[in-house]
Amino acid sequence: MKQSRRIVLGITGGIAAYKAAELARLLLKQGIEVQVAMTEAATHFITPATLQALTARPVWIDQWQDAQGMTHIHGSRSADAIVIAPASADFIAKLANGQADDLLSTLCLARDCPLLVAPAMNRQMWANAATQRNVQRLAADGATLLGPDSGPQACGEEGLGRMLEAAELARDVLAFLEGKTARGDVGLKSDLQSDLPDLRGVKILITAGPTYEAIDAVRGITNRSSGKMGYAVAQAALEIGAEVTLVSGSVALTPPRGAQVVNVVSAVEMFEAVKREVARADIFIGVAAVADYRVAQTSTQKIKKSDAALTLQLVPNPDILAYVAALPRPPFCVGFAAESEKLRAHAAAKRKKKNVPLLAANLAQDAIGNDDNELLLFDAAGEHRLPRADKLDLARALLRHVVTLYQKGKKK
């Protein structure tokens, strides 16, 4: 029987406290039990009644709500994590220095479960040397920092310090709990996420998105790749502990937090970025839809329309996957093939030509721009089908296969 998951959601005083209600709702929707604990200052921003109605549990505020005064001891004993969201500068200082002068800070000090902290404060407060010392001490003590994000703040200023949005925090809390599950602590929600491998210390280089090949100052050659699959692969790799470098073409996506992102435009720029990064990679996954050709002579000015025909000479772009696979000591290489017909024949031929141990193939018309996909994997043992699923779930399944082959190769 699958073990239920439970968190204590700690809310401190700050305008971002309103996001905690949505965070609680999203976590409850995922089957996670949420027990709210608030500081007195937090009650000035959001009422305990709101959170009690959402969670169907009395909200902890006062140390003496428990007749024995032991809420700070018992509160964490059945929890899988304590999540402080928002975590004000004052509360972070308390945590870093072991102060315990209210229920929530005492609960954190007496916990026997992991602590996740989502900072929320003005940009100058976040940048202050004292806050940065406190954050570094928290991290050194084993706390997990979620954010902060950069953007407009309630005070009218803009910069780093605002709390992550509720959906991002819910995703990160889930990923954390499921990461614990991979090491046998709690149950997983999705079969596609079961038996996740551990890639801590393994460096993965991933390419994603389209490339854009300029014709003139305003026109170019590109494709309809959204980058969603490559970003999902990066997210899945981060979830299992890998160090991820993501070389990305121009996309309208938020990069997975924790990835080192290198933004590029053209195929040549992507090739140069891969050459710079590949020496540090243990695994290379080429998901990007790289243009096969570019214009031989790009105009620096807009080409004016006329009645005459216009001829463009196209020259081949570098073959990034073939280059990486042919290195004297290549990383474990995974290629992607987006075909419009004869998927098996073209994909099998591409794997052989590129000389890569694994190639993932799909029909472009069924995948580009969609949130879901299906893949056929080709390796030395034959082909393996990954059925249609959300791209993140599909990426997790792909990573399991990649890691199996990678680890087998290391044992030889």
CATH code, domain with 318: 3.40.50.10300
For the chain, the straight-line distance linking the first and the last C-alpha, in angstroms and rounded, comes to 38
**pLDDT, tens digit, 9 for 90 and up, residues 244-282:** 999 999 998 888 878 899 999 999 999 999 999 999 999
**pLDDT, tens digit, 9 for 90 and up, residues 195-212:** 456 677 899 999 999 999
**Of 269, 242, 201, which is closest to residue 395 (Cα–Cα)?**
242
Single pTM value for the model? 0.59
pLDDT bracket for residue 283 (50, 70, 90)? very high
Q: Tell me how far CA of residue 392 lies from CA of 74, 176, 236, 245, 373, in angstroms.
A: 37, 16, 7, 17, 10
On whether residue 380 sits in a domain, the answer given is: yes
367 has pLDDT over 70: no
Element (H, E) at 53: helix 48-55
Strands 358-363 and 372-379: antiparallel
Neighbouring CB atoms inside 10 A of 303's CB total: 13
Same domain, 146 and 273: no
370 has pLDDT over 90: no
Same domain, 285 and 360: yes
Decide which of 170, 189, 208 is a domain's last residue.
189
On whether residue 134 sits in a domain, the answer given is: yes
Pick the range with the lowest mean pLDDT from 102-116, 146-160, 173-187, 380-394: 173-187
On whether residue 75 sits in a domain, the answer given is: yes
pLDDT at 118: 92
On whether residue 206 sits in a domain, the answer given is: yes
Which strands sit side by side in the sheet containing 382-390, from one edge to the other?
A: 260-263, 243-248, 203-208, 283-286, 332-339, 358-363, 372-379, 382-390
Report the DSSP beta bridge partners of residue 316: 293
Same domain, 185 and 212: no
- What is the number of domains present in the chain? 2
**pLDDT, tens digit, 9 for 90 and up, residues 286-339:** 999 999 999 999 999 999 999 999 999 999 999 999 999 999 999 999 999 888
Rounded mean pLDDT, 11-34: 92
Decide which of 156, 189, 222 is a domain's last residue.
189
pLDDT at 193: 39
Same domain, 292 and 405: yes
What residues contact residue 319 under an 8 Å CB cut-off, 6+ apart? 354
Q: How far apart are CA 321 and CA 195, in angstroms?
A: 29
**Cβ contact 251:369 at 8 Å:** no
Q: How far apart are CA 250 and CA 266, in angstroms?
A: 9
pLDDT at 410: 74
Q: Which residues does the annotation mark as catalytic?
A: 155
User: What is the domain-level CATH number for residue 27?
Assistant: 3.40.50.1950
372 has pLDDT over 90: no
Same domain, 69 and 212: no
Pick the range with the lowest mean pLDDT from 120-124, 215-219, 265-269: 120-124
Same domain, 179 and 251: no
Same domain, 81 and 217: no
Same domain, 64 and 130: yes
Q: How far apart are CA 5 and CA 153, in angstroms?
A: 33
Same domain, 106 and 227: no
Give the structural domain span for 26: 5-189
Q: How far apart are CA 249 and CA 119, in angstroms?
A: 30
**pLDDT, tens digit, 9 for 90 and up, residues 49-98:** 999 999 999 998 887 666 455 565 666 677 889 999 999 999 999 999 99
On whether residue 305 sits in a domain, the answer given is: no
Same domain, 92 and 213: no
Strand ranges, E, within 187-242: 203-208, 213-214, 220-221
Helices 18-29, 48-55: inter-axial angle, 10-degree rounding: 10
Decide which of 189, 211, 226 is a domain's last residue.
189
Same domain, 40 and 79: yes
What residues contact residue 339 under an 8 Å CB cut-off, 6+ apart? 346, 347, 361, 362, 363, 364
How many C-alpha atoms does 131 have within 13 Å on its Cβ side?
18
Same domain, 223 and 83: no
Rounded mean pLDDT, 34-59: 93
